[in-house]
Structure 1
Amino acid sequence: MEHGGDVYTEGILKGRELLDFSSNINPLGVPSSFKKNVDEALKNVERYPDVEYRKVKYIIRKYLDFSENYFGNNKCNGELSLDDSDIVLGNGASEIIDLVISCFNSVCIVVPSFIEYEKDALKWGCSVSYSSLTDNMDYDYEDIKLKIKNADALILGNPNNPNGGIIDKDKFYEIVNFCNKNHKTIIIDEAFVEFTGKIGCSFLREMKQFRCIFIVRALTKFFALPGIRFGYGVCKDVKLMDKIRTKQNPWNINCFAETAAEYVLQDECYMDNSLKWIEMERKFMLESLKAIPVIEKIYDTYSNFVLCKLGDMSCEKLYRKCLNAGILIRKCSNFRKLDDRFIRLAIKDRSRNQRLLSVLGNI
C-alpha cells in the first residue's frame, strides 16, 4: 500500500466494507453547500471552463484573506493583496507539487514526509538530498540550514505528513531569509493546515513578504473532496509561476471542481463545525491511544492523524489484524526514515474512533 485511502484492493474489489483509518479525510463529509449547488456544475458540462479560471481565482483570493483572520484567530490585519497571477490551479495538490518540483535541478526533502515529493523529484531527474526529523519528529532547523545550501529548493509539510508536526516560525525565519537572499524556493505543503485550528501557523502572510515561499493547498482533506481533485499553489515569484503555467495543459480543472471551490471556500458553518470536531476528537484520540498496549509511543499532532510507534509487533501484522476486524490502517514502513514499527491513524468521529480503539485494545 503506497498511499492511504486504498479501500479498493482489500475492500470494494473483494466485496468488503472497510472502516478507513488510512485516509485523512474530514469525517463530516462533503459540505452541504456543494451538494445543494452541484446542479450548477451539470449546467456547465456542455461548455468549456474559463481557460483563465478567473472566478475560481477570485474565490481563492477572498478565501485566503478570510482564512488569515479566521484560522489566525484575528491576529492579522489587512488583505494579502494577491493577484490572479499569484495563483496556479491543479488537478489536486499532487499536480501542483509535481509541477513545482519539475522546475528545479536539485531539491532538499525533509523526511519522513509525503512520499510523492521524492517520487516527483526522481521522475524529473532532480538531485535529491534529505533532512531528517529528530527522534521526536520535530524539524531539525540546523540540519535544514546546512542542507539547503546545496539545493535549489526545499520542500516540507506544515503540518507534515505522517506525523502532524508544524513549522516553528521563529526558528524557521533564518532559513526563509537565507533562501530569499540566495534565490532558493521553499515549497510548503499546507494541504492539512486548516486542521491546525486557530493558531495562525500558515505561511500565507510570510509569502506576501518573501517571494521564495511557494504554498500548496487543496480541497481534498479539510473539505472532504478527494474525488474532486482540486489543488492550488500560491507564490509571489512571477517567473516561477509563469514557468509552471507553461507546463500545464489548458482546462485542467473541470466544472465540478470549479463549483465545489466556489461554495465550500465560503462555507463558514462547515469550517466552524470542523474545528469543533477536530479539537475535541484529536484530544480524545491522543489520550485514548496511550492506553493501547501494542502502541509504544504516540507523537503529538496538530492535524487529523496520529503517528504511532509500535512495541514488539510489526505494522504488517497489526495491519492484517485490523483488516480482519474490518478496519484499514496506514502502514508507514514505506516512508523514508521510518521502519516496520510505525503506523498512522486518521482521526474520525467519536463512534468510529471508539470502534478503532476497541479493536486495537483487544490485540
Structure 2
Amino acid sequence: MEHGGDIYTEGILKGREILDFSSNINPLGVPESFTNNLNEAVKAVEKYPDVEYRCLKKCIKEYLDFSVEYFKSEAYNEKSESFISEKDIILGNGAAEIIDLSISCFKKVCIVVPSFIEYEKNALKWRCDIIYSTIKKDMTYDYEDILLQVKKSEALIIGNPNNPNGGIINKDKFKKVLDFCEENNKTVIIDEAFIEFTGKNNFSFLEKIKNYKCIFLIRALTKFFALPGIRIGYGVSKNDELIQKIKSKQNPWNINCFAEIAARYVLKDRDYIEDSLKWINEERKYMILNLKKIALMEEVYNTYSNFVLCKIKDLNCDELYKICLDKGIAIRKCDNFKNLNDKYIRLAIKNRESNNKIIKLLNSLS
C-alpha cells in the first residue's frame, strides 16, 4: 500500500486484528466532545450544509486565534489580537483535497524530498514541471539548496513537520526563502498536518502569514484529533487570489455535516489537547530512547511528530514488514518515498502498551 494504514487486506477482511504502526493517528482516539454530540450531526443530515460554511470557518478561525498563543510556549496568553479572518480560510475534504488543488494552480513546483508522496503524485497529475530539493543525510533541511531550487519554480511544497522523518523547519534559516518568495511573487505551501504534535514550541508558521502573503498553510483534523474518517482539512493564507483559485476548482458542499459538528466541538476541547500533548511528550522520548537500543537499528532519526523514521540493517523493509505482520503488527515501509531505499521504515508513536509490543518484537530480531 502506498500510504500504509491498510488494516483491511491482511486484517479486517481476514478476521484478524492488526496493531497498526503504519498509521500516525493520535492513540487517545476520537474526542468524546465529538461523540457526545453526534446527535446534532444526525439531525442535520436531512438538509444541505451552508454552502459558504460560515459557522465552520468561524470555529476554525477561533481555534487558530487560540493556537497561535497556546502552541507558542507554556505561558499561554489568551488576549492576543486576532489577525486571521474567515476569508483567509479555505475548507477541504481532508488536507488531501487542499494539497491537490493548491498544486493545481501552478505549472512549475519545487518539492522537498523525501516527503508525503501525494505532493509528487498531484504535481504529475496536473502536469507540473517538478524540481526537487533533497534533505540532508541527517534528515534536516538544506536551506541553501531550497533557495536555489525555488528560484526556478513558481511554488515550494514543504512539510512542517515533514513526513516521513518528523523534522521541522528552522524559522531563522528559512527566512531567506520566505523573503525571496515574498519579493518575487512565489508561493510557499507549508503542510502542517502534524503541527500540533510538535507541542508548545512555536514551530508553526501561522503567525508569519501576517507579514508573508506568499505563505499558504495546510492543516487537518485527521491526525491530532484522530478523525481520518471525517475528512476535513483547511488552508490558511492572506493570498486571496490563491484562495479564490482553489475555491473555483471545488465542488459545492464538500464538507459533510458530521465533519462540521466534529470541528465545532473538538477544536474547543482543551482537555483533549492537553492530554494529547502530555502523551506525545512522554511517549516520543520513550520510543526514541528504546528504539536506539535495538541492534537492528542502524539509525533512529530525531522527530518532532508522532512517528519515527528508522534505518534498519540485516533485513530490508519487505522482510521486516512480513515478520511484523505475522505477529499482528503493521509497519510503514518507506522504500516508496523519493530518495529512500528498502532499509527505511516508519513507526507511529502509540500508547505505552502498544509501543512496548513493537519494541519487544524488534528486540527479538536482533
Displacement of 1:81 after TM fit?
2.0
Q: Give yes or no for contact 1:153–1:184 (8 Å, CA) kept in 2.
A: yes
CA distance in 2, matches of 1:318, 1:139: 28
Confirm or deny that 1:320 pairs with 2:297.
Answer: no
Any conservation in 2 of the 1:307–1:344 contact (CA below 8 Å)? yes
- Distance of 2:115 and 2:135 partners within structure 1: 9
SS at match of 1:66: helix
Q: Match for residue 38 of structure 2?
A: 38
CA apart distance, 1:66? 0.3
Structure 2 partner of 1:330 = 332
Tell me whether 1:70 sits opposite 2:55 in the alignment: no
Tell me the equivalent position of 2:135: 133
Distance 2:76 2:280 in 1: 21
1:344 is paired with a residue whose SS is strand
Deviating above 6 A after TM superposition, structure 1's stretches of 4 or more consecutive aligned residues are none
Matching of residue 263 in structure 1 with residue 265 in structure 2: yes
Shift of 1:79: 3.0
| TM-superposition CA deviations, 1:197-244 (whole Å, max 9, x none) | 000100011012100000000000000000000000000001111111
Deviates more, 1:32-41 or 1:1-10: 1-10
- Displacement of 1:75 in angstroms is 7.2
SS in 1 for 2:106: coil
Per the alignment, in what secondary structure is the counterpart of residue 3 of structure 1?
A: coil
What is the Cα-based RMSD across aligned positions, in Å? 0.9
Within 5 A, what are the aligned runs for 1:1-363? 1-73=1-73, 74=75, 78-363=80-365
Aligned-partner residue type, residue 186 of structure 1: V
CA distance in 2, matches of 1:338, 1:144: 19
**What is the identity, as a one-letter code, of the residue corresponding to 1:197?**
G
Letter of the 1:243 counterpart: K
Alpha-carbon contact 1:89-1:233 (below 8 Å) kept: yes
2:69–2:80 CA contact under 8 A, matched in 1: no
Provide the C-alpha distance between the structure 2 equivalents of 1:344 and 1:290, rounded to a whole number of angstroms. Answer: 14
Q: How many residues align?
A: 363
What is the TM-score normalised by the length of structure 2? 0.98
What letter matches 2:34 in structure 1?
F
Q: Which one-letter code corresponds to 1:137 in the other structure? A: M
* Distance in 1 (alpha carbons) for counterparts of 2:186 and 2:14: 48
Which ranges of structure 1 fall in alignment gaps of 5 or more residues? none
Q: Does the 8 Å CA contact 2:195/2:203 hold for their aligned counterparts?
A: yes
Residue identity matched to 1:59:
C
Question: 1: CA distance between counterparts of 2:54 and 2:61?
Answer: 11
TM-superposed deviation, 1:362: 0.7
What is the distance in 2 between the residues matched to 1:287 and 1:59?
Answer: 38
Amino acid at match of 2:185: H
| Contact 1:80-1:208 within 8 A present in 2 as well | no
Percent identical: 63
SS of the residue 1:128 aligns to: strand
How far 1:78 moved relative to its partner?
2.6
Please, which runs of 5 or more residues in structure 2 have no aligned partner?
Answer: none
Asked if the contact 1:108–1:129 (Cα under 8 Å) also holds between the matched residues in 2, the reply is yes
Offset at residue 291 of structure 1 (A): 1.5
Distance 1:88 1:130 in 2: 27
Structure 1 residue 357: deviation in Å?
0.6
In structure 1, what is the Cα distance between the partners aligned to 2:308 and 2:246? 33
Cα separation, 2, equivalents of 1:163 and 1:125: 27
* Stretch moving more, 216-225 or 9-18: 9-18
Aligned with 2:276: secondary structure?
helix
Amino acid at match of 1:290: K
Question: What is the DSSP-based 3-state SS (H/G/I as helix, E as strand, rest coil) of the residue aligned with 2:24?
Answer: coil
